[in-house]
Structures are given as structure tokens and as C-alpha cells.
Amino acid sequence: MTMNAAGGRRRPPTIHDVAREAGVSRGTVSRVLNGGHYVSPAAQEAVNAAIRRTGYVVNRHARSLITGRSDSIGFLLTEPQERFFEDPNFNVLLRGCTQALAAHDVPLLLMLAGTGDERRRIARYITAGHVDGVLLVSSHSGDPVAEQLRAAGVPLVACGKPIGLGSKVSYVAADDRDGARDMVRHLLSLGRRRVGMVTGPLDTPGGVERLAGYREVIADAGLEFDERLVVPGDYSRASGEAGAERLLAQAPEVDAVFVASDLMAQGVLAALQRAGRRVPQDVAVGGFDDSPAALASSPQLTTIRQPWDRISTEMVRVLLAQIGGEAPAAVILPTELVKREST
């Protein structure tokens, strides 16, 4: 147990070793490590060479102990676990954030809060200062963890506009309403006049906004809003399937459907197929997200692309800025209509 255990690792070089190797003091090495201000080019070079020779890597624990920063951030998901399993958008977002953070050399701690116990544990962990900030995915309203973190003054950036939190919390979101408008306009431009909708959950901002966009365009086109054409969903595939069935029963004359997520749209496609409706000939179907599911389905889905790359990049940028002392910010990014086979 002392010295090197079987197959053990040698004691890694410290800033001291580098200093000795470079013929300078600890302070100088530290300055080089932290931006190199007030360091002569000669010393700069000597230190860098010594770092390369020794294979030195900074000990983040020692650094954190004194700076009070942890130099790591948390990715907190408080969605119910089913959505996490089912929805590839989370993976895309997660990957984007990981990459964006990697560029800043900041590790990402994954925190999945399903049960209440987990929530409490994670909240304690975060408020104890073990992460400098939190990327939050929690679209439903009234999330107690989010509120607790906000109250504790933890830098926070939400994905999508959070409902119920004060306006003081940063968020990055796609322009849901505008995307919905684009899609419904597109469906109308195909000559469809009985355009239905399967909504997202209406306790989420995305769900509300996409429905609002639909209503606006229907009204602008001089069409009457028909309640029978709008059925509720919860973003899950199953709810899309059920929604389409209900839609067909309530309003069999429907000739197009705007579905508030690709995952639900998959369910809609399945239900339409079962009912013998051809897509897009009989019913045109438009999704939302441009998730991998949109390409995997057949026919491939026309959909609204959410700029996930930019969303993740912006979330990280805003969070790091906030950690650096800047004020909270809201960023809304444009969406894009992607035409494929289903319309």
C-alpha cells in the first residue's frame, strides 16, 4: 500500500518539479499556466519546454482548493427517465455540451434526477459548490431543484425557456413559435386546408409556443380555428400514435398534421399507415426537432430543425460568462424548415 502498489503509477510531477527543471520559481510556472501575463518570453519558453519534458499536468484539486472554483460544470436532467431513454435529442444536446466544454477544458458531470431522493442529493451536491455552474434540462414547470439552485445563486442556464422561474435565470431556446409558423405555412402552401395538430405538453414553453404559432398562421390564412383538429400529446411516441387515432376519429377529413415533435410524428405515421392513409398523398405530416428519428422513419419526415449545435454551444457560452460574473442572458435561436418525404 505504501510506495508503488503492484503495477502502480508513479508519483506525477508537480509544479515544483517543473520549476526546478526550467530553472525558475513556482510562481513563474503558475503564471505561465494561467495565461502568461507578466512573464518574459524566455521564461515562458523554458517553462513550456519543462512541462513537455516532464509530462506535467496540473493537479486540479490543489488548484480548486485555493481558487474556490471547481472548474467543472454539471449537466442536470430532471426530466422523467422515460423521455431520456426515448428521445435522441437529449443525446445530441449532451454531446454538444460535452464538446463545447471540452474546448474550455472543463469536465462535465452528469446528474440524472429521477426520484425525489436523487433530487435532494444532487441539490446538496451542487449547492455545496462542487460544480461552478449547471446546464439544466427541465422543461416542465415547477421544478423544485431548479428553483432551489436559483435561490442559492448557482449559475444556471436552462435549455428552453423555463416556466415558473423568475426572469433571472438564463436560458437558450429555439424560436418555437416561429418554427411552428414556418411549418404550418408550408403545409398550407401545399394546398392543404384541414391542417391538424398534435401538441406538446402544455405545461412546457415549447408546447405552448408551438401551438401559438399554429393558431397564428391558421388565423392569418383566414381559416377558422377548429378544436377538433387539435389534440394533446406529451412528446412521447405513444402519445403521437394515440393523438393521430383521436384526430382521425374526430376529424376524418384532416389532410395534414403538424406534430410538435419528431418522436410523436413517428407514432402519427404508424397510426396513419394502420388507418390506410397514405403519407404524404392523403395526409401530409410535419414534425419538429429534426431529431435522428426524422431520418429513420419512413417516409422521412419533413420537420423543423432545432439548431442543437448552436443551442449547446450557446448554453455553454452563456454559462461560462455567467460564472465569470456577467448577468444572466436569454438567447433565442432561429429554426429551419427541412423538407423531406412526408409532405
Residues that bind a copy of itself (CB under 8 A): 5, 7-9, 12, 57, 59-62, 64-65, 70, 72, 75, 81, 84-86, 88, 90-92, 94-95, 98-99, 102, 107-112, 114, 118, 121, 124-125, 128-130, 152-153, 237-238, 266, 270, 274, 292, 296, 298, 325
Interacting stretch for DNA, rule CB under 7 A, among 57-65, 88-96, 209-217, 270-278? 57-65
Q: Are 97 and 135 in contact (CB under 8 A)?
A: yes
Minimum gap (Å) between residue 12 Cβ and DNA: 7
In which element (H, E) is residue 285 found?
strand 284-286
Q: Report if residue 26 touches DNA, rule: CB under 7 A.
A: yes
Q: Report if residue 81 touches DNA, rule: CB under 7 A.
A: no
91 binds, among a copy of itself, DNA, none (CB under 5 to 8 A by kind): a copy of itself
In which element (H, E) is residue 338 found?
strand 336-338
Q: Nearer to DNA by C-beta: 38 or 85? A: 38
Helix, strand or coil for residue 166?
coil
Among 16, 121, 130, 278, binds DNA (CB under 7 A): 16
Q: Report if residue 70 touches DNA, rule: CB under 7 A.
A: no
Q: Report if residue 27 touches DNA, rule: CB under 7 A.
A: yes
Q: Report if residue 51 touches DNA, rule: CB under 7 A.
A: no
Minimum gap (Å) between residue 177 Cβ and a copy of itself: 27
Minimum gap (Å) between residue 98 Cβ and a copy of itself: 5
- Residue 135 pairs with which residues in a beta bridge? 75, 157
**Cα distance between residue 69 and residue 333, in whole Å:** 30
31 binds, among a copy of itself, DNA, none (CB under 5 to 8 A by kind): DNA
Q: Are 203 and 160 in contact (CB under 8 A)?
A: no
Helix, strand or coil for residue 4?
coil
**Cα distance between residue 191 and residue 193, in whole Å:** 6
Q: Are 261 and 290 in contact (CB under 8 A)?
A: no
Omega of the bond leading into 162 within 30 degrees of 0 (cis): no
DSSP-derived secondary structure letter, 302? B
Minimum gap (Å) between residue 318 Cβ and a copy of itself: 17
Q: Nearer to DNA by C-beta: 28 or 89? A: 28
Q: Are 132 and 323 in contact (CB under 8 A)?
A: yes
Q: Are 309 and 322 in contact (CB under 8 A)?
A: no
66: Cβ contacts below 8 Å, ≥ 6 apart: none
Minimum gap (Å) between residue 117 Cβ and a copy of itself: 9
Helix, strand or coil for residue 161?
coil
151 binds, among a copy of itself, DNA, none (CB under 5 to 8 A by kind): none
Q: Report if residue 130 touches DNA, rule: CB under 7 A.
A: no
Supply 278's cell numbers.
397514405
Which residues lie near DNA (CB under 7 A)?
A: 11-12, 14-16, 23-31, 33-34, 38-43, 56, 58-59, 62-63, 65-67
